[in-house]
Amino acid sequence: MDKRYLELLAREYPTAKAAASEITNLAALRSLPKGTEYFFSDLHGEYDAFLRLLRSASGMIRSKIDLIFDKSIPADDREALAVLIYRPEEEIKRLQSAGELTDEWRRITVYRLIMVCDSVSAKYTRSKVREKMPSGFAYILDELLNVTDDVDKDFYYDEIIASILDTGIAEEFIIATCSLIRTLTIDRLHIIGDIFDRGPRADKIMDELMRFTHIDIQWGNHDISWMGAASGNTALIANVIRIALSYNSYDVLEDGYGLNLRPLSIFAAQVYEDDPCSGFMPHTLDDVVYDSVDARLTAKMHKAIAVIQCKLEGQLLARHPEYNMDDRRLFEKTDFRAGTVVLGDTVYPLNDTSFPTVDPDDPLRLTEEEAQLMRILSSSFYHSPKLSTHIKFLYAKGSMYRTCNGNLLYHGCIPLNEDGSFREVRLPRIGGDDYAETSHGKDLLDRIGKIVNRAYYAPYNSPEQIEARDFLWYLWCGPDSPLYGKNKMAFFERTFVDKHIPEAREIYAPYYDLNRDGGICGRILEEFGLDPDNGHIINGHVPVLIKDGESPIRGGGRLFVIDGGISKAYRSKTGIAGYTLIYDSHSLRLAEHHAGDTDTPSVRVVEKMERRVSIADTDYGEELALRIGDLRALLQAYRDGVILER
């Protein structure tokens, strides 16, 4: 091994004893059971629902409580303890108002919480548990969780709990212990894309995700849309605003990210003053909390930004003939004087013929007022501190795909041909030729990941950055985009013609039928260097219509689609309120959540491990083994006198 590397390692382990001690520690760590991984997908801004899933660990905390207390306390008390762990601040306030916050309740509750905490911490080393402890109570918790066998445990517990009550810190201690239980229950969090759009508070979801140390995100097309908007892509800025207005999601735009919509409201009210904009009324799945806007004004704003989006998308496509999407340049194919558009071989009437800002002879040109409005909106996105923080987190923790412990995670699809072979997709050569090389499979996603990063980190408004951020729009809705995977996004047809016409149908890419074939799933796993017989593909993007008989398990158990309808917009289609895939040391389990009762899902084992999985069997275990090998080399160097102890 390179001596210079060993000398660097010796700075951290300056003696043979220190190196030997660390080897022993790491070997012991590898023997522990693997931590529990949780997989969520398609959160779509549903903060309240997601927080319930997260805080209940998708029902696993209640299962742990039942396992510990099944024979000792009634079911109602077990449920009350679970609710306390999920939402301690709210529950303590409720009990206080009801006059039920007694010292006896405090004493019993602290004792029970310590028992739960002791159980969920069993698979971790003491040092790891100590790292996760709330700082103000770390010493007390460490003492309660590590009572030695030669001590009268009951007496010791009683003394410490009495001290907690006497000093008046019981409520704070209870809240801290509940937090530790929740933290220990989820060892790693995987988010399989689409955090944004439709629901009211994607910003709050991002705040919650940023509290996790061990987290990864696979970008979805809705995430890419926001990332493109933050990068300065005006078509995606319009898209983000349009979707938010269509779902009445003012809170995420204005309260969450401080984006200035007032210029849009003034513009829309003036331009569409006498236009009812009845086809643009918002869906009201959630009430606006902070700054409610009249639905009629929202409809005008919605129409104004939709028209601007059509113009900007047309301009973008005119710049990029290599996208092969001329069929989507529909604003240019519209006869605004006649109020018709040609779709395929059919002439359709527009459902709305009031377009005061559209020049029939130059339909893609923004008016001076529209151009000024987009400059203001672009500046608002660019200068939002909270949005900047969240987008940087998406880049830091996100990617097009991830392999983790034998599993392959991605949001949408791997582009395939009808025969199941990998589809060649043309990519832009950023900063190079107009027409780029093609790529497929793993290499395709790797190359796309580099382009996505350039869209944000290349010098702002440089030719390289503009080219890359334009491509983010293609990833949002392009037919060969791994994040979208449909022949088109029929936004124009559904908005300005009729959502029921044949041309408004969006046809899924071959992948979404072929992923039912175990052989093809195995081929995809092999492409990413994983075991085709034991690995799994985990993705979302397409809601699983349980009520229509669809299954989330495909490819003979090799693939899981975990978009089950956390978003309210999809629950009527799916019949449920979302999925969580849970991978612990014993099994893979699928939790199916029910609307109105996401704390107690239906959970089934979908694959049982032949033996308990240890950290040694994981990617982290492989990293530790490499570290042990390096330390053994350092130890030998000390013994041979090649490296001198300090």
Tokens of 202: 């994607």
* Residue pLDDT, tens place only, 8-59: 999 999 999 999 999 999 999 999 999 999 999 999 999 998 999 999 999 8
* Residue pLDDT, tens place only, 330-357: 999 999 999 999 998 899 999 999 999 9
* Residue pLDDT, tens place only, 408-444: 999 999 999 999 999 999 998 776 544 558 899 999 9
Q: Give the Cα separation of 196 and 44 in Å (integer).
A: 5
The SS3 of residue 540 is coil
pTM of the predicted protein model? 0.92
The larger pLDDT score, comparing residue 157 to residue 91, is at 91
Q: Give the Cα separation of 221 and 226 in Å (integer).
A: 9
Backbone angles phi, psi at 125, to 5 degrees: -70, 160
Residues in the chain: 646
Going by pLDDT thresholds of 50, 70 and 90, the confidence category of residue 124 is confident
293, pLDDT greater than 80: no
| CA contacts within 13 A on the Cβ side of 284 | 11
The larger pLDDT score, comparing residue 310 to residue 593, is at 310
Strands 536-539 and 559-561: parallel
Q: Indicate the average pLDDT of the chain.
A: 91
Task: Give the closest residue to 578 by CA, choosing from 17, 44, 12, 72.
Answer: 44
Task: For residues 551-577, give the mean pLDDT.
Answer: 86
> In which element (H, E) is residue 335 found?
strand 334-335
Q: What angle do CA 166, 170, 171 make, to 5 degrees?
A: 145
Q: Give the Cα separation of 177 and 125 in Å (integer).
A: 18
Q: Give the Cα separation of 98 and 79 in Å (integer).
A: 18
For residue 629, CA distances in Å to 6, 33, 632, 633 come to: 12, 21, 5, 6
Answer yes or no: are the C-beta atoms of 584 and 36 closer than 8 Å: yes
Of 88-92, 287-291, 488-492, 571-575, the poorest mean pLDDT is in: 287-291
* Residue pLDDT, tens place only, 611-621: 999 999 999 99
pLDDT value, residue 131:
82
* Residue pLDDT, tens place only, 542-551: 888 887 888 9
| CA contacts within 13 A on the Cβ side of 72 | 8
pLDDT value, residue 292:
60
The SS3 of residue 210 is coil
Three-state SS string over 5-36 comes to HHHHHHHHCCCHHHHHHHHHHHHHHHCCECCC
> Which DSSP string do the residues of 582-609 spell out, in sequence order?
EE-SSEEEEEEEETTEEEEEEEEEEEE-
* Residue pLDDT, tens place only, 393-412: 999 999 999 999 999 999 99
* DSSP code of residue 463: H
Answer yes or no: are the C-beta atoms of 569 and 244 closer than 8 Å: no
Answer yes or no: are the C-beta atoms of 334 and 353 closer than 8 Å: no
pLDDT value, residue 152:
67
Q: Give the Cα separation of 362 and 22 in Å (integer).
A: 71
Task: For residues 132-153, give the mean pLDDT.
Answer: 76
Task: For residues 211-216, give the mean pLDDT.
Answer: 92
pLDDT value, residue 433:
47
Task: For residues 221-231, give the mean pLDDT.
Answer: 97
Task: For residues 104-119, give the mean pLDDT.
Answer: 92
Q: Give the Cα separation of 578 and 40 in Å (integer).
A: 9
Tokens of 162: 């009495």
Answer yes or no: are the C-beta atoms of 111 and 153 closer than 8 Å: no
Of 79-83, 148-152, 536-540, the poorest mean pLDDT is in: 148-152
Phi-psi region of 626 (alpha: psi -120 to 50; beta: other; left: phi over 0): alpha
Task: Give the closest residue to 9 by CA, choosing from 585, 593, 646.
Answer: 646
Task: For residues 353-375, give the mean pLDDT.
Answer: 96
Strands 334-335 and 215-218: unpaired
106, pLDDT greater than 60: yes
Strands 438-439 and 398-399: unpaired
Q: Which residues pair with 439 in a beta bridge?
A: 425
Q: What angle do CA 210, 216, 133 make, to 5 degrees?
A: 50
Task: Give the closest residue to 561 by CA, choosing from 368, 439, 367, 409.
Answer: 409
Answer yes or no: are the C-beta atoms of 556 and 594 closer than 8 Å: no
Task: Give the closest residue to 235 by CA, choosing from 143, 145, 96, 329.
Answer: 329
pLDDT value, residue 151:
60
pLDDT value, residue 486:
95
Task: For residues 104-126, give the mean pLDDT.
Answer: 89
Tokens of 74: 């009634």
Going by pLDDT thresholds of 50, 70 and 90, the confidence category of residue 459 is very high
Q: Is the dihedral of CA 318, 322, 234, 264 positive or negative?
A: positive
> In which element (H, E) is residue 343 found?
strand 340-343
> Which DSSP string do the residues of 492-517 spell out, in sequence order?
HIIIII-TTSGGGPPPBPTHHHHTT-
